[in-house]
Amino acid sequence: MKNTSIKIATVVGFPLGAVSTQTKVFETKEAIAHGADEIDMVLQIGALINNDLETVKKDILAVREASKGKVLKVIFENCYLNDSQIKNACDICLEANVDFIKTSTGFGTGGATIENVRLMKETVGNQIKIKASGGIRDKETAVKYIALGVDRIGTSSGIKIVEA
């Protein structure tokens, strides 16, 4: 991939964000040392659900620091979260100055929903980009998310969508 315009992205803290912050920082630094341009981190879902927002914030800030100069996407795994938790995660990401927020890893029980993406967009406005991932399998669905203002679509049906 060297000497190409193709960007390399990797995930840290996969699948549930339950590893320590130190592990995520190590994974981030190793990924960047091996050529990663973008880091997708899974936030500490358990801490968010337990309303331990300080732990979630410290975790994201540490990875943001380790990924300076690179794109940082924070994955929420919305299928496990309620609206209040999604909003809290958005607020923390605004404070941490992340580049993207993302709906899901693809590991959880559900993907993007119109309602969740609308809430994310209402909370962050244009200050953070949004990647809708999971369950987007056709052009009609992709167009709905684009109309909501998402910046990227994560799908395993990309060719089908583009050819439709």
The residues annotated as belonging to the active site are 40, 102, 131
Cα–Cα dist 155/158, whole Å: 6
129 CB burial (10 A radius; 0-12, 13-18, 19+): middle
Partners of 101 in the beta sheet? Answer: 74, 130
Instruction: Enumerate residues 6+ apart whose C-beta is below 8 A from 134.
Output: 103, 104, 106, 108, 110, 111, 112, 154
Contact 64, 96 (CB under 8 A): yes
